């Protein structure tokens, strides 16, 4: 049950190559925000569980826009994973690798991409049967050279780097064939969301899609 779901979600993530990370304080902004991303060419998002509004925002998005691929981020406990799934999340990410969260998601058919930072983390991920992991926070820990260095001993794994990625360095990450997609919040800054500046979100998404295109074509 778990593997086919993961493969379906990964197919969709590989297609967009980019997962916008959104942190929402006001649930009424949730649907306009994902609409702006979708109109810029990104029909997907990770809603972080960093605010009290996360669950309600996720519920509204998945209820009103069921065709978008939307997951939950910053999931730190099995209870939060269960809440995310009940709100319609199609996948889960976490900043680190919590074995209980990974196990819960695997047991409940919810694709999980936990964060890793070191070769030891990666060995733990392999032990739990994972094939794709988030690498966080990629820029402060060494960027693409670091990712290539830690990926070398683990040829079967693939990566979702996040943390400090922007339109400026996106193409470089995507040109590495072990990178499934990149995650980032640069298209959805809090000030734009608060001001309802959804046209700016749409334009940033469009620019990001354009920045990702040469890398995709080159692979």
- Residues with catalytic roles: 46, 134
Q: Which residues contact 151 (CB under 8 A, 6 or more apart)?
A: 157, 159, 176, 178
| Window 62 to 81, contacts with ligand 3PG (CB under 6 A) | 73
- CA–CA separation, 191 vs 71, rounded Å? 22
Which of positions 3-62 make contact with ligand 3PG (CB under 6 A)? 21
In angstroms, the CA 34 to CA 148 distance is 32
- 87 vs 159: CA distance, rounded Å: 26
Of 71 and 73, which has the nearer Cβ to ligand 3PG? 73
Residues 145-164 that bind ligand 3PG (CB under 6 A): 162-164
Residue (98 or 155) nearer to ligand 3PG, CB? 98
The tally of CA atoms less than 13 A away on the side-chain side of residue 197 is: 13
Whichever of 43 and 161 has its CB closer to ligand 3PG, that residue is 161
Q: How far, in Å, CA of 94 to CA of 71, rounded?
A: 11
Q: Which of 57, 184, 201, 212 binds ligand 3PG (CB under 6 A)?
A: 184
The residue written with tokens 């070398």 in the block is 152
Q: By C-beta, is 43 or 183 nearer to ligand 3PG?
A: 183
With contacts defined by CB under 6 A, name the span among 9-17, 99-107, 178-186, 194-202 that binds ligand 3PG: 178-186
| Residue ranges that bind ligand 3PG, judged by CB under 6 A | 21, 73, 136, 162-165, 183-186
């Amino acid at each position: 049950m778990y593997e086919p779901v993961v493969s379906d979600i990964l197919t969709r993530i590989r297609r967009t190559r980019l997962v916008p990370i959104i942190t929402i304080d006001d649930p009424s902004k949730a649907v306009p925000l994902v609409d702006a991303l979708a109109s810029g060419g990104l029909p997907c998002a990770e809603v972080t569980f960093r605010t009290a509004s996360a669950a309600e925002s996720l519920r509204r998005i998945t209820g009103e826009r069921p065709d978008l691929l939307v997951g939950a981020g910053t999931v730190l406990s099995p209870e939060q994973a269960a809440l995310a799934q009940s709100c319609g999340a199609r996948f889960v990410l976490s900043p680190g690798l919590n074995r209980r969260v990974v196990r819960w998601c695997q047991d409940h058919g919810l694709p999980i991409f936990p964060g890793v930072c070191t070769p030891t983390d990666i060995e733990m991920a392999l032990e739990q049967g994972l094939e794709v992991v988030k690498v966080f926070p990629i820029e402060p820990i060494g960027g693409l050279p670091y990712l290539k260095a830690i990926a070398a001993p683990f040829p079967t794994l693939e990566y979702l780097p996040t943390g400090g990625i922007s339109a400026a360095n996106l193409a470089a990450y995507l040109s590495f064939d072990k990178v499934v997609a990149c995650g980032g919040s640069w298209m959805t800054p809090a000030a734009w969301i608060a001001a309802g500046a959804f046209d700016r979100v749409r334009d940033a998404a469009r620019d990001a899609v354009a920045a990702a295109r040469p890398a995709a074509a080159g692979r």
